[in-house]
Structure 1
Amino acid sequence: KDVLPEDANAAFAKLQDDAPVHSVLHTRRCLEHLVDTLPWPVRASAAADAGVDMSDRDGILRHIFPQIDDTPLASGSVAQVHRAQMRAMFYHPMGGYASRSTTTPTVPVVLKVRHPRVRERIEGDFALLIQIVSLFVYAFPASTFFRSLEQALAQFAERLSLQADLRQEAQNLLRFHRHFREWRGTVTAPQPLLGFERCDDVLVETYERGESVGKWIAEMKSSSVNASTEEGESLEPCHPLGPSVVGRGADTYLKMLLSDRFVHGDLH
């Protein structure tokens, strides 16, 4: 916020959870692809329980997820998320612990669905940037700056393209849970569900309730406590939970940076 104008900050902030949504039709096509990637035992069990043929992707999908919200819970730059109800028999979190009781017939989950042509757009944009930099490399062959920039762009393009593969995100989540297994109750993250982590454009996760830091800060003043110095000078309002949240956030970042060397870049 100290670098860009306020209107630019507001526009970029929308990429976190208020980006344009894609169509319900695209979501349904991706969910059918999810069924195609299910392990054979899961797909066979769902088909048998539903009384449908193994080739009936819609029937299998409706049996596993009796309810899927068409309206997204949020939409980011790469994917949007839908709340859904999953039959408890298919609910097996992979993070090493159950996030909730499964005594009910269904369990709330989240379906993360990638936007159409995201990977192609990322690769196309970076290909164009690399071509432009290549022209400068050709024009200034003695310059090490442009050669380094060309290599950095190629590496960044590869990394960013991986971020659009939700199978990679599932593996990253599992690694994150391994690093923070001793911090349960303090730091949490969605867990991929066993058998539903093999699709590149859909990821099924546990539903974790929470509030974004941005919204929390915006609402902080409504329940803030006014404070003043010993000299009577007024201080900014302070939320009672502020020091706790800041302390945990700082500890989390330091652990990721200095100990794990593996950073979750979307903390909120």
Structure 2
Amino acid sequence: MAFEELGPTFVKLGQVLATRPDLIPVEFVEEFKKLHDQVSPLPFSEIKRVLESQYGSTLDEIFAEINPVPLGSASIAQVHRAKLRDGSDVVVKVQRPGIERIIADDISILYYLAELLQKYVKETRIFNPIGIVDEFFRTLELETNFVIEANNIRRFIENFKDDTEVKIPHVYIELTGPRVLVLEFLKGIPLSQAAALEQEGVDRQTVMKAGLRAYFKQVFKDGLFHGDLHAGNLFILPGSRIGLIDFGIVGRL
């Protein structure tokens, strides 16, 4: 896909457009949806360099093992399964090298295009193109600092500590930094894998009701809600419990 070739900023932009069938044709929406989990992975050698730079030590000193084949590869980060030296199963989210510089360059291009639209295409002024780029840039800034995401997760853990229907993964703060996030591995089936859920006999109605209760709790009680709830960020765990991941984008009320 051309957006993938343009780089991470445009991949994120495509992901945003995937949620806006009111703005673009449905066939484009279906293509943009593929950007959620189909970004080409980086070689593990590059991931290893980021990790060893973060920790100031070799991987063997931190992990008992780490799978070089990623669980997922997104526009900003790549995720690998690993095992800590104490035997804990974890996932390691590693930021793509040089991502901040790439985003800064791409945002400059988007600002230039937004200014042209606002100046020469009067019909677009009602949408405030420059304001849209402003908000998009702020979102990307938050997503590229994993300490912020770790703190978001800790808030969600506290909010759902007594909830038997929702599971928030434990965050290993001592192993987390701006470019690396280490979380408890949730063993479940992504909501996006409908066939696998059906094979396991998951009751969709039960899951849907639990999901709605969780979302209403976030919005109306906690005032803190997950801002990127697509099917790839929801897992169905044993007992039809819902697991949430990817807290880079949250909303506050």
- Shared fold (TM-score greater than 0.5)? yes
Aligned pair partner of 1:14 in 20, 27, 34: 34
- For 2:29 and 2:37, the matched residues in 1 are separated by 16
- For 2:198 and 2:82, the matched residues in 1 are separated by 33
Residues 26 and 86 (structure 1), Cα distance of their counterparts in 2 relative to 1, 3 Å cut: same
RMSD between superposed Cα atoms in Å: 2.8
The residue number in structure 2 matching 1:114 is 95
- For 1:7 and 1:135, the matched residues in 2 are separated by 24
Tell me by how many angstroms 1:190 deviates: 2.0
Which runs of structure 2 are paired with 1:2-151 in the superposition (5 Å)?
3=21, 4-5=25-26, 8-9=29-30, 11-36=31-56, 57-58=57-58, 61-88=59-86, 106-137=87-118, 145=126, 148-151=128-131
- For 1:138 and 1:15, the matched residues in 2 are separated by 31
**Bigger Rg over Cα:** 1
The residue number in structure 2 matching 1:200 is 178
- For 2:157 and 2:172, the matched residues in 1 are separated by 13
- For 1:221 and 1:180, the matched residues in 2 are separated by 27
Tell me by how many angstroms 1:188 deviates: 1.2
Aligned pair partner of 1:176 in 149, 156, 164: 156
What letter corresponds to residue 48 of structure 2 in structure 1? Answer: R
- For 2:196 and 2:62, the matched residues in 1 are separated by 38
What letter corresponds to residue 218 of structure 2 in structure 1? Answer: M
Post-superposition CA distance 1:179-205 (Å, at most 9, x none): 21221x3111222113112x2211111
The residue number in structure 2 matching 1:241 is 203
Residues 162 and 213 (structure 1), Cα distance of their counterparts in 2 relative to 1, 3 Å cut: same
Tell me by how many angstroms 1:219 deviates: 3.6
Contact 1:22/1:116, CA 8 A, preserved across alignment: no
- For 1:159 and 1:210, the matched residues in 2 are separated by 28
TM-score, structure 1 length as denominator? 0.68
- Higher percent of residues as strand: 2
Contact 1:14/1:76, CA 8 A, preserved across alignment: no
Q: Which runs of 5+ in 2 are unaligned?
A: 1-17, 235-253
Tell me by how many angstroms 1:29 deviates: 0.8
> Identity of paired residues, percent?
26
Q: Which runs of 5+ in 1 are unaligned?
A: 37-56, 89-105, 224-238
TM-score, structure 2 length as denominator? 0.71
Contact 1:123/1:161, CA 8 A, preserved across alignment: no
Post-superposition CA distance 1:149-187 (Å, at most 9, x none): 32342132122221122121111111111221221x311
- For 1:139 and 1:242, the matched residues in 2 are separated by 49
Classify the secondary structure of the residue corresponding to 1:243: helix
Q: Does 2:218 correspond to 1:218?
A: no
- For 1:74 and 1:252, the matched residues in 2 are separated by 25
Tell me by how many angstroms 1:136 deviates: 4.8
